[in-house]
Chain A
Amino acid sequence: MSVRLQAAGLSVGYGERTVVDRLDLDVVGGTVTAVIGPNGCGKSTLLRALGRLLPARHGAVLLDGKQIDKIPTREVAKVLGLLPQAPQAPEGLTVADLVARGRHPHQAWYRQWSSDDEAAVAEALRMTGIEDLAERTVDELSGGQRQRAWISMALAQGTDLLLLDEPTTYLDLAHQIDVLDLVQQLHTDMGRTVVMVLHDLNLAARYADQLVAMKAGKIVSLGAPAEVLTEQMLLEVFGLDARVVEDPVSGTPLVVPVGSRHRIG
């Protein structure tokens, strides 16, 4: 498999502040990469830069070997879809209309609803299991349903690459699993390449092929979950005293925080 998306000596920042600092990362096609790290470590910023929402200060983001900001943004949108954190839709927008907007990069003012568009939207609704909600408005959905609708929109875009910024935020555990199962399905059944920011380390370890642990704008550790998610890394990156055991279900690493008053004897 080839490298689809690459950060090469990438620095990104806001105003005076440098948030991502000379970072190198390769995202191989057909894999799921999860970016983890403490609040404010620059993981969302990295994801935005990978999705050409933020300009590179130094270095570059390469999409299939080409500098992403040199490719017309509409062409990028045919290959790379992204789901921002807590996206907003106007009140009263139906799920079907929301998902249909995912087709935008494939449309023009005179070509607003081709049969390809129609098929892609129907397929995206089916994959996320929200066909029955198509005529409901986005604001009347529950959190889990709404997240599915947004993911459905990104799917309708028909891109090989998907960038998801904390797709499980505000969801209860059952719905988090729901969404991540969907991500895994995209990856295994359809060979999509996914890069996502996740807060939950155990879920990240379970669903990702590659973990990227960040601290202060730099990558501290990178590799398979079992290599990255170690007690030493948790202490170094999160300042967290924890045990790492084997997840009885998936066999991936499972973080058990120690805390200050919970030790048995």
Chain B
Amino acid sequence: MIAPAKALRVGRASFRLRPRPMLVVAIGLAALVAVMALDITTGDFPLTVSQVVDVLLGGGARRDQFVVLELRLPRTLTGLLVGGALGLSGAIFQSIVRNPLASPDLLGITWGAGAGAVTVITFAGSLGSITGPYAEFGLPLAGLAGGLTAGLLVYALAWRKGIEGFRMVLVGIGVTAVAGNFTQYLLTVGDVTDAARAMVWITGSLNGRGWEHVVPVALALVVLIPLALVFGHVLGALQFGDETSKGLGVRVDLSRSMLILVAIVLASVATAAAGPIAFVALATPQIALRLAKTATPPLFGSVVIGGVLVVLSDLVARTIYRIELPVGVVTAVLGAPYLMYLLVRSRREARI
């Protein structure tokens, strides 16, 4: 006999309770709080947790207020939100395309968003910095436009009576190359200081992130996370071949397009805020999937793990060396070998 699955039922609403994925979210949230606390207290002006709490409650010394509210908190929050958005975006892509290689980084979407954002940096920048409305709205919108263009291009070029994962990844490699080269071109023609700034940005950096970066990603997540979770139910029925999904009464093309659109917007907004931070969208869903022992990446788990990954990487990036490194350097160094390990291991586990 099977143990009856646990469920939460209130009136007509009912949800399935899966202990292990829920435990992963709970532990992930605890880890997130710990990492954020560490991130906010660590730096050139070390603070204690109680000092930080004082500031958050509206008290504290003026210096502490400045360090926490203007410097470290927005940076940590940007990291958390960007990581969550990238994790969710990757989880949606990998579930739909049914291929662990399908993620906004490999499909060229973050690079498209990057090209859009670099356009703004090189043309709207003045003396190597962009401020005001350009930073607050111009960058996210340009990133969104670039990411959407790249994403729709990949979807359109890879669509042939349905989506086939491998073809999508191949088309994505092509789009990545085009967007990457366009970015290089912008760097070549742009002003030297703007180009230098754009270079750091391309690596993926949380340096100097203020509230103007927190707000767009937070808005996007507030709208898109609930949307993703509503569609997430359909995601469960989309994990089979198209015919099975249609047989289950899913409007396959519509649902898939909507979900991919959500994933593209998430990746684009995140990229606009912090640059194309490598490997987070690729590795996060696979880490969450292995921790939760589910067949497809868990959405909530991917949000939380993505946040932990980026905040932790940023903490390492700014403390490991005497100068600050961009967070993208650390995620690449951590992410690439881990992904290789996952791929090697899954190949070994594959059945004959």
B337 adjacent to chain A (CB < 8 Å) = no
6 A-B residue pairs with CB within 8 Å:
A74-B249, A92-B293, A92-B294, A101-B240, A109-B229, A115-B7
Contacts of B9 in A (CB 8 A): 113-115
Contacts of B16 in A (CB 8 A): 100, 112-113
Contacts of A108 in B (CB 8 A): 233
Known: A73-B251, A93-B239, A114-B9. A87 touches B295 (CB 8 A): no
Contacts of B230 in A (CB 8 A): 109
Q: Is B233 touching A90 in the complex (CB atoms < 8 A)? A: no
Q: Is B14 touching A114 in the complex (CB atoms < 8 A)? A: yes
- Indicate with 1 or 0, residue by residue over B120-138, a CB within 8 angstroms of chain A CB atoms: 0000000000000000000
Binding site for B on A (CB under 8 A): 48, 51-53, 73-78, 81-84, 87-94, 96-97, 100-102, 104-105, 107-115, 117-118, 122, 125, 131, 134-135, 137, 139-140, 157
A109 vs B295: C-alpha distance when bound (angstroms): 19
A115 vs B6: C-alpha distance when bound (angstroms): 11
Q: Which of B1-56 contact A (CB under 8 A)?
A: 1-2, 4-5, 7, 9, 12-16
Q: Is B295 touching A157 in the complex (CB atoms < 8 A)? A: no
Q: Is A53 touching B2 in the complex (CB atoms < 8 A)? A: no
Residue of A77, A91, A94, A118 touching B248 (CB-CB under 8 A): A77
Q: Is B236 touching A101 in the complex (CB atoms < 8 A)? A: yes
Q: Which residue of A lies closest to B16 (CB)?
A: A113
| Residue among B13, B98, B244 with the highest chain A CB neighbour number at 10 A | B244
Q: Is B14 touching A111 in the complex (CB atoms < 8 A)? A: yes
A88 to chain B, nearest CB (A): 5
Q: Which residue of B lies closest to A74 (CB)?
A: B249
Q: Is B2 touching A96 in the complex (CB atoms < 8 A)? A: yes
A78 vs B7: C-alpha distance when bound (angstroms): 23
Count of interface residues, chain B, beta-carbon cutoff 8 Å: 37
B4 to chain A, nearest CB (A): 6
Residue of A96, A107, A118 touching B233 (CB-CB under 8 A): A107
Contacts of B248 in A (CB 8 A): 77, 101-102, 104-105, 157
Contacts of B284 in A (CB 8 A): none
B322 adjacent to chain A (CB < 8 Å) = no
B250 adjacent to chain A (CB < 8 Å) = yes
B241 adjacent to chain A (CB < 8 Å) = yes
Contacts of A139 in B (CB 8 A): 351
Tally A-B pairs: CB < 8 A: 110
Q: Is A84 touching B247 in the complex (CB atoms < 8 A)? A: yes
Q: Is A84 touching B244 in the complex (CB atoms < 8 A)? A: yes
Contacts of B243 in A (CB 8 A): 48, 53, 82, 84, 87
B103 adjacent to chain A (CB < 8 Å) = no
A81 vs B104: C-alpha distance when bound (angstroms): 35
| Residue among A82, A101, A113 with the highest chain B CB neighbour number at 10 A | A113
Contacts of B205 in A (CB 8 A): none
Q: Is A104 touching B237 in the complex (CB atoms < 8 A)? A: yes
B215 to chain A, nearest CB (A): 28
B176 adjacent to chain A (CB < 8 Å) = no
Residue of B2, B12, B240 touching A125 (CB-CB under 8 A): B2
A190 vs B230: C-alpha distance when bound (angstroms): 35
Contacts of A77 in B (CB 8 A): 247-249
Additional A-B contact list (8), CB under 8 Å, known A84-B243, A101-B236: A73-B246, A77-B247, A88-B244, A100-B5, A108-B233, A110-B13, A112-B16, A113-B14
A104 vs B16: C-alpha distance when bound (angstroms): 13
Contacts of A157 in B (CB 8 A): 248
B296 adjacent to chain A (CB < 8 Å) = yes
Contacts of B294 in A (CB 8 A): 92
Contacts of B240 in A (CB 8 A): 87-90, 101
Q: Is B2 touching A51 in the complex (CB atoms < 8 A)? A: no
A237 vs B5: C-alpha distance when bound (angstroms): 50
Contacts of B12 in A (CB 8 A): 110-111
A85 to chain B, nearest CB (A): 9
Q: Is B249 touching A111 in the complex (CB atoms < 8 A)? A: no
Q: Is A113 touching B229 in the complex (CB atoms < 8 A)? A: no
Q: Is A94 touching B295 in the complex (CB atoms < 8 A)? A: yes
Contacts of B247 in A (CB 8 A): 51, 53, 77, 81-84
A108 vs B2: C-alpha distance when bound (angstroms): 24
Q: Is B7 touching A113 in the complex (CB atoms < 8 A)? A: yes
Contacts of B246 in A (CB 8 A): 52-53, 73
Q: Is B236 touching A104 in the complex (CB atoms < 8 A)? A: yes
Q: Which residue of B lies closest to A51 (CB)?
A: B247
Residue of A88, A105, A131, A135 touching B249 (CB-CB under 8 A): A105
A35 vs B230: C-alpha distance when bound (angstroms): 40
A135 vs B4: C-alpha distance when bound (angstroms): 12
| Residue among B2, B234, B250 with the highest chain A CB neighbour number at 10 A | B2
Known: A77-B249, A78-B249, A101-B248. A113 touches B296 (CB 8 A): no
B44 to chain A, nearest CB (A): 46
Q: Which residue of A lies closest to B252 (CB)?
A: A73
B29 to chain A, nearest CB (A): 22
A74 vs B245: C-alpha distance when bound (angstroms): 11
A96 vs B230: C-alpha distance when bound (angstroms): 22
